[in-house]
Amino acid sequence: MSMAQMPVCSICSKRTAAMSSISQRGNNPGRLHLASRRGPQSRRHIRPVVMVNGMLSVGDKLQDFPDYYRVLQKSTGGGVALSSLEKKKPVVLFFYPKAGTPGCTKEACKFRDEYGKFVDAEAEVFGISSDTPDANAAFAQKERLPFPLLTDQSDFLRKSFGIKADLFGMLKGRQTFVIDKNGKCVMSFNDQMGAEKHVDEALQVVKTLV
């Protein structure tokens, strides 16, 4: 019997076909390309959130933001809206993550120590966080802060200004804005770790507005 006439084993035939199919799938560039695309996408989800300038940028006016008339409760009692601050004097708004924490205490106390210079420049200073009015009042009393702390309930203003968080979103952003007496943003400063730098930057700017 010649080799051409020998019967073909059905099991061997199926095994050969299967191996051929696997080889073809392994060399399919489309699948490999799809897998390579998934890698970078999955890594994007674990990158830390980097602080960048918020949606309130230099040159923007407060009246263009949806929370322009929102009333924020003051640690000294009563409330204040952004709309009431316009056309009076320059305003410093420093957003801090949490009352009583080390970085926020350093920042608030540095504003306290330099507060007289802000007064000389005819500027108002407000600290803003999502802490309750009572928590802010206790913080202000303990550290003898001469300026009001405002409660941004549910972070409405923080979100409106586009202030982003650090550490995978677990740490609220630390950002300071200086608004001139016409309601225009003239400074936006970000630095999570350099809490005291916010005071120096803000003071330098308000002195130019006198």
Q: Which residues are catalytic?
A: 104
Place of tokens 């420093």: 94
Instruction: List Cα–Cα distances, 210 to 107, 114, 198, in angstroms.
Output: 24, 16, 19
HSE-CB for 148 with a 13 A CA cutoff: 17
Q: Could you give the strand order of the β-sheet that contains 185-190, starting from the edge strand earlier in sequence?
A: 79-81, 71-74, 149-151, 124-129, 91-95, 175-179, 185-190
At which residue do the structure tokens 């999502």 appear?
Answer: 130
**Range list of H helices, the chain:** 10-26, 29-44, 102-113, 115-120, 133-143, 156-161, 197-206
Phi/psi for 202 (5° steps) reads: -65, -40
Name the residue with tokens 């980097």. Answer: 50
| 92 phi and psi angles, rounded to 5 deg | -105, 125
Asked if residues 96 and 174 have their Cβ atoms less than 8 Å apart, the reply is yes
Strand 91-95 relative to strand 175-179, pairing: antiparallel
